Every structure is written in structure tokens, then in C-alpha cells.
Chain A
């Protein structure tokens, strides 16, 4: 009987401490919340970076196409 009591108590206490710990963790540990800050300006920065990099990627692809054409022309000559 005593044995059961002890196991029951430890389980309950263990669960309680886990809940308490997780609540504490939520209050203290901040993770990857730069994008969620009140101003959310980082989101705008990220969007602009993506747009700019997209255009750059397109530029690079055109650049490579022209390069390929140039080397082709050289071979033909």
C-alpha cells in the first residue's frame, strides 16, 4: 500500500514539476522570435532581400546564357 502511495505521489509531483518547468521555460527561453517582434520590420527586410535576390538570380541566368552564346560564337568563327 505504502509502495503504491509513493509511486502515485512521485508521478503527480513529477508531472507537476514538468508543467511548472515548461511554463517557466515559456517565460524565459525566447526562440527565433526576431521575425515576430512587435514591429515585424525583419519580415519586410526579408521580403526585400528575397525580391532583390530573385532579380539577381535572373540576372545571373541571363549572364550565363549570354556567356554560353559567346563561347558558341567563338567556336563557330
Chain B
């Protein structure tokens, strides 16, 4: 139980974000109306994804500085759950865009950028599966992961800021914070939601890692 306190924290934080996210007051804005509450669910997907992708890169770097395969597994599982969060982010974003921007996929640089960036991570998984030798796979995947993360940041955070984007905080479109679209009330839900979902992701990631470890033990016993 002592080791699992963060899992409880994850559940409590997300539960709080669901309850408070629907019941607390939000700023009254045109177009957005009540959908501003999507901030607690759609945007948290992306934040959690980026945090977990950073965890992945961090573990790839650690793998490269010692070649301990433990870190390689963490990097892989972090990418897995990040992709799940990313797909949820895309799906919820398309739904939201449909009712606020008029179509599910407006030609927005952030959308196109993130679609390309997601492909980098699909390629990461394909690359991993295409190499049989463990050491080689881990090494190439780790180096590729570093590039993929840099490209992800470039395509989702830097390039959209250089042109006009519908997303707040990009191009001529100031961020939520600057416009004061979101007030402190919203931040009280938004930040806990990010932490909660990131911890949920970590939990699922940890399960994947543990499954992987058991799998390797079984295989080594067979041989």
C-alpha cells in the first residue's frame, strides 16, 4: 500500500477534475460556451503525452549512457501510453473543433504538425519491431527516440507559433493565460488534472514494464 500512494493520488486527482470540471464556474465566452471545460480533458491529454514522451527520451538518454536494457523498456512503454493519449487528444480535439471551428480538421498548423509528429512515433514502434537483435534494437531506438522527440517539439510547439493557428498561444493568437480566457478557478482544476492524468499514464506504463519483465523471465527460463 505504501508504494501505491501515487496510484490513489492519480485516481483522486482525475476524479476531482471530472467533478470540479463540470460543476465549477467557468468564464462565459462566445463560440466556446461550455466547451471551455474541454480544457480539463482534451488539453490534459496532450500535456500528459508530452510529459510522458519526455520521460521516454530521458530514459533513452540513460540507456545510451550505460546500455542498461531496463531503461530501454521504460522508454518503449512510455511511448506506448503516450500514443494512446495522443490518439485520445486527436479524437477529442476533432470533436471539439467540429463544433467551435466549424470542421473537424481545419487546416491548422498545429493539427497538421501533430499528425506528422505522431507518425514519427508510429515509425519508432515499427523501427523497434523490425530489429531482432536486442542490443542493436535498443541502441537504434534510443537514438531515434531523441530525434523523434526533438521533431515532435518542433512540429507541435515551434512551427505552429511561426504562422497563424486557431489554437491559443500560437501565431497571432495569444495563449489562454494572456487573454485571461481561463481564470484562476480553471487553473485550480486544470493543473491537478494534468498531474492526475500523467500519473494514470505512469501507472499504465508501469504495468507494461512489469509485464515485459515477466515475459523476459519466462523466455529466459525456457531457453
Which chain A residues have a beta carbon within 8 Å of chain B's beta carbons?
Answer: 41-42, 44-45, 48-49, 52-53, 56, 59, 62-63, 66, 69-70, 73, 76
Contacts and interface: CB of A to CB of B under 8 A. Distances in A.
B15 A53 contact: yes
A59 B18 contact: no
Contact of B14 (A44, A52, A73): A52
Contacts of A62: 207
B191 interface: no
**Binding site of A, secondary structure by majority: helix, strand, loop or mixed?**
helix
26 contacts: A41-B22, A41-B23, A44-B22, A45-B19, A48-B18, A49-B18, A49-B19, A52-B14, A52-B15, A52-B18, A53-B11, A53-B15, A56-B11, A59-B207, A62-B207, A63-B7, A63-B203, A66-B207, A66-B210, A66-B214, A69-B214, A70-B210, A70-B214, A73-B214, A73-B217, A76-B221
Contacts of A44: 22
B163 to A, nearest CB: 36
